[in-house]
């Protein structure tokens, strides 16, 4: 998986910090993607020839590897994340650096925010959960790169009517942001950093074995045009003046 280094990334000495924003509904595969990202990088059976080493800080290594091995060996889906967000900080370093040069070597820190998918649809209940949701989404919207998950199962369920699901997905996301916009903007000040790159990603892609990236892109464009979604989909004014507030104005991609 490739993460572009942008000018907005925070850099101190030889360390670069990057926030990863992953948006998706409940059950869309956010936690599974997180575990797969880390597990595949740490799996000894796949590590040959890798030039970089990825490690999770704090106590997240054991939990992520347990969920990854459960998926890989027993086909167990990760438990759903409920009621609170979880932040995982990864460090990415070059392998086989001599000890005397290790302190001077470059390092990239990736902060990945995982949260209950119900929040995507406005499902926070308690005051503490609502505050956690606001703070998490504020961090997500201050990221460098945003991934937006399209649930492959739900897209499959709406075969030949995919625009119904896509309208529900994107309209719901925008409406949810509108509801918490004032809380996200501290003292009414717009965010000084906003994702410059938005990637629409298909989860559970094994349900679409013959679908290529270009086919997925064409499907999204066709169904969005059919439903009038392109004319409606604009994010609330969250970014500061001079920052693009609509994904269509940013670098974008489909995966």
Helical packing angle, 162-184 and 213-227, nearest 10° = 80
pLDDT of residue 56: 93
Does 254 fall in a domain? yes
Q: Are 54 and 89 members of one domain?
A: yes
Please, are residues 149 and 30 in contact by the beta-carbon 8 Å criterion? yes
Does 10 fall in a domain? no
Q: Are 85 and 162 members of one domain?
A: no
pLDDT of residue 246: 41
Choose one of 112, 131, 150: the last residue of a domain: 131
Q: Are 92 and 172 members of one domain?
A: no
Q: Are 28 and 116 members of one domain?
A: yes
pLDDT of residue 228: 66
- CA-to-CA distance for 155 and 208, rounded, in angstroms? 10
Q: Are 253 and 145 members of one domain?
A: yes
pLDDT of residue 215: 93
Low-confidence ranges of the chain (pLDDT < 70): 1-13, 46-47, 83, 99-105, 122-124, 227-255
**Residue for token pair 């704090």:** 58
Does 48 fall in a domain? yes
Does 2 fall in a domain? no
Q: Are 76 and 169 members of one domain?
A: no
Q: Are 121 and 155 members of one domain?
A: no
- CA-to-CA distance for 91 and 54, rounded, in angstroms? 6
Does 169 fall in a domain? yes
Q: Are 117 and 146 members of one domain?
A: no
Q: Are 65 and 101 members of one domain?
A: yes
Does 83 fall in a domain? yes
Q: Are 107 and 22 members of one domain?
A: yes
Percent of the chain topping pLDDT 70: 77
Q: Are 148 and 254 members of one domain?
A: yes
Q: Are 81 and 113 members of one domain?
A: yes
Task: Render pLDDT for 67-115 as a digit per residue (tens, 0 to 9).
Answer: 999 999 999 998 877 767 788 999 988 887 776 666 666 788 998 887 7
Choose one of 106, 131, 156: the last residue of a domain: 131
The three-state (H, E, C) secondary structure of the chain, written as one string: CCCCCCCCCEEECCEEEEEEEEECCCCCCHHHHHHHHHHHHHCHHHCCCCCEEEEECCCHHHHHHHHHHHHHHHCCCCCCCCCCCEEEEEEEEECCCCHHHHCCCCEEEEEEEECCHHHHHCCCCCHHHHHHHHHHHHHHCCCCEEEEEEEHHHHHHCCCCHHHHHHHHHHHHHHHHHHHHHHHCHHHCCECCCCCEEEEEEECHHHCCCCCHHHHHHHHHHHHHHHCHHHHCCCCCCECCCCCCCHHHCEEEEC
Question: For residue 217, how many other CB atoms are within 10 A of its CB?
Answer: 14
Does 56 fall in a domain? yes
Q: What is the extent of the structural domain holding 186?
A: 141-255
Split into its structural domains, the chain has a count of 2
Does 7 fall in a domain? no
């Amino acid at each position: 998986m490739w993460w572009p280094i942008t000018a907005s990334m925070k850099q101190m000495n030889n360390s670069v910090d990057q926030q990863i924003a992953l948006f998706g509904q409940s059950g869309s595969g956010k936690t599974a993607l997180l575990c797969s990202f880390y597990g595949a990088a740490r799996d000894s059976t796949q590590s040959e020839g890798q030039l970089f080493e990825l490690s999770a800080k704090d106590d997240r290594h054991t939990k992520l590897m347990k969920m990854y091995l459960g998926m890989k060996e027993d086909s167990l889906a990760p438990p759903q994340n409920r009621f609170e967000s979880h932040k995982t900080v990864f460090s990415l370093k070059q392998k086989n650096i001599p000890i005397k040069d290790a302190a001077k070597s470059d390092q990239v820190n990736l902060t990945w925010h995982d949260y209950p998918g119900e929040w995507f649809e406005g499902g926070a209940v308690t005051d503490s959960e609502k505050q956690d949701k606001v703070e998490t989404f504020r961090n997500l919207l201050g990221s460098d790169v945003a991934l937006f998950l399209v649930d492959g199962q739900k897209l499959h369920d709406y075969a030949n009517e995919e625009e119904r699901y896509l309208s529900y997905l994107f309209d719901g996301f925008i409406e949810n942001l509108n509801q918490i916009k004032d809380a996200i903007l501290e003292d009414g000040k717009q965010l000084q950093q906003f994702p410059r790159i938005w990637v629409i990603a298909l989860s559970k892609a094994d349900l679409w074995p013959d679908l290529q990236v270009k086919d997925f892109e064409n499907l999204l464009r066709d169904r969005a045009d059919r439903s009038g979604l392109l004319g409606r989909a604009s994010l609330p004014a969250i970014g500061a003046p001079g920052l693009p507030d609509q994904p269509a104005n940013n670098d974008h991609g489909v995966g």
